Every structure is written in C-alpha cells, then in structure tokens.
Structure 1
Amino acid sequence: MRVLIVFCHPSEQSFGAALFAKARRALLDAGHEVQVIDLYREGFDPVLSPEDWHAYLSDTDSLIARVQGHVDALRRAEALVMIFPTWMYGPPALLKGWMERVWLPGVAFEVPRGKTKRAQGLLTNIRSFTVVTTSGSPWWWLRLIRDPGRSMLTRGYRVLFHPRCRVRWLQLHDMNHATERERQRFLARVERTLTRV
C-alpha cells in the first residue's frame, strides 16, 4: 500500500519524533511503500496570503502549482498517517496551515453548488486514515469539551476520503505526566496498529 506520513513537530528529540520513527519503521517492515512529509524540517510555509485568498476560487490552479509536490503525494496515497502533538485542542498551526494550502478545491473537495449542501470529497484514493497524537489534557476533559481536534479530523475531514475509509485514532493523554512505561506502551500500540494497516 502507498502510505503518506505527515509529521509535524518542531523537535527531533521529542517523543513525537520517536512516534514518527516507530510508525515509519512499522509501515516499512510491513512491506508498504512510505512517503514522508516532515513539515518542520521542510520549512513549509503555512500562510495563506491575501493574494492566495483572492485566487482561492478564481485561480485555484495557480495555488495548486505552488504546492504541486504535496498535492501529488496526497493524490497518490492509499493510506494517510498524521503524527503531531495536540496543542490548544487541535493540530499545530503548521499542520492546519498545510491542510489549508494543500487541501484545495479540485484537490480535496468540490465546492458545494448551493446553499445547505456540503463539499464533495475528492480524496477517494485514501482508504485508511490514522492519527497518532499526544495531548497534555486528560481524556475525561477532552471528552467533556467534545474533543474538537478529533472531531475536526475524524468527522469533518473524514468525509473527503473513500466512503469505506478505515479511521484509527491513537492518542496518549496526560502527556506531561506520562511515565516511561506508559510511553513505551503507547509506542508499542502504534507499532501494532500500523503493522495491521
């Protein structure tokens, strides 16, 4: 399977980096073809400029051309794995900006044709979507506030993928207080899950 990993963490010495390394190794060992987009190491510009905004619908092709390599990777993938820390109840701004600049009309969705209609997904090539994340908040607090980051990705963006896309959400809560044993158990869980993708 062609797997695209999108990794977003500023530190190469972080637990997030360890999760990325474990996930990549598990996928390669399982025989998958793996492509990586490392947003921080790549220096990806997440800013949608005023000029970009004005061209968003009128000249979308020019915006696609500026991020063509990322668009090609997304269109080619059969499985998508995102690895990032949950900050302020959602993905880092860099990852959100990547989605805003790459998941464009004509790439990820078709703009609705009228009021009360929703966008139609174009990423039907993606049949597996896995998120690996950590958060400082305990699970019960995220449940209480309806877990906005998880809801955004597994409900809002999920509809852009293949209708039978399999979604997996792996999250280590209470990250600031996680023990070494808990971290190792989570790494093992990530490995087991991605081996079965």
Structure 2
Amino acid sequence: MRVLMVFAHPGRESYGAALFATARESLLRAGHEVEVIDLYAEGFDPVLTAEDWADYLSDTDRLIAKLDRHVSALRRAEALVMVYPTWMYGPPAILKGWMEWVWLPGVAFDVASATKKRATGKLQNIRHLAVITTSGSPWWWLRLIRDPGRSMLTRGYRVLFHPRCRITWLQLHDMNHRKPKDLKAFLAKVDRRLSRLGGEKNRGRGDECRKSEA
C-alpha cells in the first residue's frame, strides 16, 4: 500500500518523534511503500498570503503547481497517516495550515454546487486514515466537549476520502502525567496497530469505521 505519513512536531528528540519513528518502521516492516512529509523539518509555510487567497478559486491551478510535491503525494496515497501532538484541542497550526493549503479545490474536494449543499470529496484514492496523537487533556474532558480535533478529522475531513475509508485513531491522553511505562506501552500499541494497517477488520469501539460520516 502507498502510505503518506505527515509528521508535525518541532522537537527532534520528543516523544512525538519517537511515535513517528515507530509508526514508520512498523509500516516499512509490513511491506508498505512509505512517503514522508515532515512539516517542521522542511520549514513548511502554512500562511495563506493575500495574493494566494485571491487566487484560491479563480486561479487554483497556480496554487496546485506551487504545491506540486505535496499535492502529488496526497493524490498518490492509498493511506494517510498523521502524527502530531494535540494542542488547544486540535492539530498544530503548521499541520492545519498544510491541510488548508494543500487540500485545495479540485484536489481534495469540489466546491458545493448550491446553498445547503456540502463539498464533495475527490480523494477517493485514500482508503485508510490513521491518526497518532497525544494530548494533555483527560479522555473524559474531551468527550464532554465533543472532542473537536477528532471530530474535525473523522467527520469533517473523512467525507473527502473513499466511501469505505477506514479510520484508526490512536491517542494518548493525560500526556503531562504519564509514566515511562505508559509511554512505552503506547509505542508498542502504535507498532502493533500500524503493522496491521490495510488488513484490519472493522471491530467497532470507534477506532475503525466504514460508513461515511456527514
């Protein structure tokens, strides 16, 4: 399977970097073709300029050409794996900016045809989305506030993918109070789950799903 890994963490020696390395090694060991976009390492600029904003719909092809490497990687991928820390209830600004920048009209979606209609997805090539993240908040608090970061990706963005796209969500909560044994156990869980990417059955419990969520 062609897998695109997108990593967003500024710390080269961080636990997030360890999660990324573990996931990548697991995918390679399983025989997948892995392409990596390391946003902080390459200094990706997530800021949409006034000029580019003006061309967002009127000259989208110019923006696609400007971001050709990223757009091509997204279009090639059969699975998308995102590794990042959850900050302020969502992905880091650099990753959110990457999605806003690279997931352009004509690439990730077609603009809605009329009022009360939603955009239609164009990333039918993506059949599996996997998210590996950490958060300082406890699980119960995120559930209470309806987990905005997870909802954004598994509901809002998921409709852009193949209708039978599966989702794997791996999150370590209470990150600031975890002991070394907890960190080690989560790394092992990531290794185990990523080694099965693409061959998993739908087991419920909210980790994988096949139905499109509007």
Give the TM-score range, shorter chain. over 0.9
Confirm whether residue 69 of structure 1 aligns to residue 69 of structure 2: yes
List per-residue Cα deviations over 1:21-66 (Å, max 9, x = no partner). Answer: 0000000000000000000001001001111111000000011111
Q: In structure 2, how many angstroms separate the alpha carbons of the residues matched to 1:52 and 1:99?
A: 15
Q: Which amino acid aligns with 1:163?
A: P
Confirm whether residue 54 of structure 1 aligns to residue 54 of structure 2: yes
Query: Which position in structure 1 is the counterpart of 2:176?
Result: 176
- Quick check: which one's helix share is greater? 1
Cα offset, 1:73, TM superposition: 0.2
For the residue of structure 2 that corresponds to 1:58, the secondary structure is coil
Q: In structure 1, how many angstroms separate the alpha carbons of the residues matched to 2:18 and 2:9?
A: 11
Q: In structure 2, how many angstroms separate the alpha carbons of the residues matched to 1:186 and 1:119?
A: 36
List per-residue Cα deviations over 1:110-149 (Å, max 9, x = no partner). Answer: 0001000000000000000000000000001100111000
Query: Which position in structure 2 is the counterpart of 1:23?
Result: 23
Percent identity over paired residues: 73
Cα offset, 1:19, TM superposition: 0.1
Query: Which position in structure 2 is the counterpart of 1:135?
Result: 135
For the residue of structure 1 that corresponds to 2:40, the secondary structure is helix
Q: In structure 2, how many angstroms separate the alpha carbons of the residues matched to 1:141 and 1:52?
A: 38
Query: Which position in structure 1 is the counterpart of 2:207?
Result: none
Q: In structure 2, how many angstroms separate the alpha carbons of the residues matched to 1:154 and 1:192?
A: 21
Q: Which amino acid aligns with 1:183?
A: L
Q: In structure 2, how many angstroms separate the alpha carbons of the residues matched to 1:120 and 1:18?
A: 36
Number of aligned residues: 197
Name the TM-score, length of structure 2 as normaliser.
Answer: 0.92
Name the TM-score, length of structure 1 as normaliser.
Answer: 0.99
Confirm whether residue 156 of structure 1 aligns to residue 156 of structure 2: yes
Query: Which position in structure 2 is the counterpart of 1:89?
Result: 89
Query: Which position in structure 2 is the counterpart of 1:165?
Result: 165
Query: Which position in structure 1 is the counterpart of 2:203?
Result: none
Q: In structure 2, how many angstroms separate the alpha carbons of the residues matched to 1:167 and 1:50?
A: 35
Structure 2 spans left out of the alignment, 5+ residues = 198-214
Q: Which amino acid aligns with 1:184?
A: K
Q: Output the aligned Cα RMSD.
A: 0.4
Confirm whether residue 99 of structure 1 aligns to residue 125 of structure 2: no
Cα offset, 1:156, TM superposition: 0.2
Query: Which position in structure 2 is the counterpart of 1:192?
Result: 192
Query: Which position in structure 1 is the counterpart of 2:210?
Result: none
Cα offset, 1:3, TM superposition: 0.3
Structure 1 spans left out of the alignment, 5+ residues = none
